[in-house]
A and B are shown apart, each in its own frame.
Chain A
């Protein structure tokens, strides 16, 4: 029995005892009091059984009338008393039940019970999302689009209400709780074998740190993504052994700088971490030369540094930080004087990077006015302002929450991607452009899916079987359409991880071994077909040799007998 049942029974004790007692008094009394027969002669009482029958239908207000004979006056007197007694007893019991149902504690127990049951019944891979602010909501939508289940924890009741109204394909279990408490995380299914990852997106860094530590200690090896705003926290969390931590400010400035300085590599990164099925990101060609940077906060520093490193000349406009090293002009950028002073006539680009969306839009509008062909980069802070930014037609718009959400999603659903990105961190523009080109063909002009496969009996049974029987399987074999040997599959093996060694973009001749981990990009259909090829021995045989093979055991045996016979004849012939 669960909490709700116990609470209910405990609270029903007094009303039930009262009802039993009132019944007893009524039944015993009615059984004793003398009645009369049809002729009006006095008779002894109607007895216990008849009395119980009469009281039962009277107390429940069914009321069959005076049975078995019309009553004597004294019986009627007793009945009148009984009616009031029993109806009062029932009413009291009903009122208690109604009161119990409305009680917040009971409602809470009911909700908790339902939530715990849903978590227990989650029998497919799921993720725990702690904190559903703007980024958390985006992550939830991303998971939902990928068809993955998730559990939502947030200590803010209004956010939970909001997430319930979002309209997901599968309703996520939600709970109002502080995720930094270990008990609440385990309650959300942290210890469940189906839990595939935890995303800490709570408002404050301390909570995210606590979540990461809890997950790290209770489920070693489980991917944990934590968002932290403080640059120092990033390093201290790293000490907990390979947790993936995203610092949105740092990421944001790195990306912005990358977008300006290395547009091809930026685009490739965008394709890799994009939501599968989205339109491919466009390629921007930000000009080189004189740039104006408005806003010199935490990530303004990063942008300026990256732009300077890429060989640009940067003039910084800021009001708050004027006087600090690096700020050239005092002003907000929303007045033409400061922009003229920064040399907008000669500038090729402007970055509006304040924490306020309206300020950024004002800067962008003014800059366009002063110099129509200037390259405008805007920072969008709030999702709700998307329509304003779309109306402006900026050259490049970056949303911190979207960046974090995409990154979290891509890395937590395919942990190998983190390694891949680490390996290609210094990629050249040419290499990036080629990879981006190859990736863009895979899914007919949309962002391809990325997935990881481990060569083991569970995920690639046929491949393991073939390798152990010394039939070599190459990367090229997996990239053949299992329905038509002549055609390539819409897939690309990005990386093979063997032990701790990685092979980036392996050639088709690369031989696979048991235990290899593959990072593959491709269309959803290609993923399905590849899974078939890796698990069905006959399909694998076909992609390896281009020949069909009969399925059953008998044909197998007959063929091997035939092979042996041919071999036998050949040796005898010698």
Chain B
């Protein structure tokens, strides 16, 4: 068992699952989406990105790219949320739909990461 693989697998999966938890539920219903879950998804996604720094393999480079995409989308979602929540009108269902769609995009990137990880495991087993 390789502890580096365990740690990386843990963070990749956690990023995907946290993001899924935030994203799931109807898009424009504010009460279904928790800000802490989004914050947690950002943090875990950032850690997963850092863990892929300095990997020279082709797969490592793609991993880094997908996690960077997830980071950008999640941070964009968080900025939109903060902006909307501090504006005079407060958070509207339209704003929430935007944030959730952002996290949906990030979720796609997370899923690619997970698929890549699994494919890596399969090829290694062979």
B61 and chain A: residue at smallest CB distance = A1
Docked complex Cα distance between A13 and B8 (Å) = 12
Q: Tell me whether A348 is interfacial, beta carbon within 8 Å.
A: no
Main secondary structure of the interface of B (DSSP, over half): helix
Task: State whether A13 touches B35 (Cβ < 8 A).
Answer: no
Q: A48-B35, A49-B82, A49-B86 are in contact. Are A13 and B53 (CB under 8 A)?
A: yes
A13: chain B residues within 8 A (beta carbon): 50-51, 53-54
Inter-chain contact A21/B54, CB cutoff 8 Å: no
Residues in B whose Cβ lies below 8 Å from that of A28: 36, 39
The answer on a CB contact under 8 Å between A6 and B54 is yes
Residues of B within 8 A of A27 (CB): 39
Provided the pairs A6-B56, A48-B35, A49-B82 are in contact, do residues A24 and B43 lie with their beta carbons within 8 angstroms? yes
Q: B30 at the A/B interface (Cβ < 8 Å)?
A: no
A9 interfacial contact with B, CB 8 Å: yes
Cβ-neighbour of B46 out of A6, A11, A20 (below 8 A): A20
Number of interface residues of A (CB under 8 A): 18
Chain A nearest CB from B67 CB (Å) reads 13
Tally of contacts, chain A with chain B, CB under 8 A: 40
Asked whether B47 lies within 8 Å of A8 as measured between CB atoms, the reply is no
Q: How far is the CA of A23 from the CA of B35 in the complex (A)?
A: 17
Q: Bound state CA distance, A49 and B81, in angstroms?
A: 10
A-facing residues in B32-91 (Cβ within 8 Å): 35-36, 39, 43, 46-47, 50-51, 53-56, 82, 85-86
Also in contact, A12 and B53, with CB within 8 A (given A21-B47, A24-B43): yes
Task: Please give the distance in Å from B58's CB to the nearest CB on chain A.
Answer: 13
Q: Name the residue in B46, B51, B53, B55 with the highest tally of chain A Cβ atoms < 10 Å from its Cβ.
A: B53
Would A16 and B50 be within 8 Å (CB), given that A6-B56, A49-B82, A49-B86 are in contact? yes
Chain B residues lying within 8 Å of A487, measured Cβ to Cβ, are none
A21–B40 Cα gap in the complex (Å)? 11
A105 within 8 A of B: no
* Given contact pairs A13-B51, A17-B50, A49-B85, a sample of 6 additional A-B residue pairs in the complex whose CB atoms are under 8 Å apart: A8-B54, A9-B53, A11-B54, A16-B50, A27-B39, A49-B86
Q: Which residues of A contact B (CB under 8 A)?
A: 6-13, 16-17, 20-21, 23-24, 27-28, 48-49
9 A-B pairs with CB atoms under 8 Å apart are: A6-B54, A7-B54, A9-B54, A10-B55, A12-B50, A13-B53, A20-B50, A48-B35, A49-B86
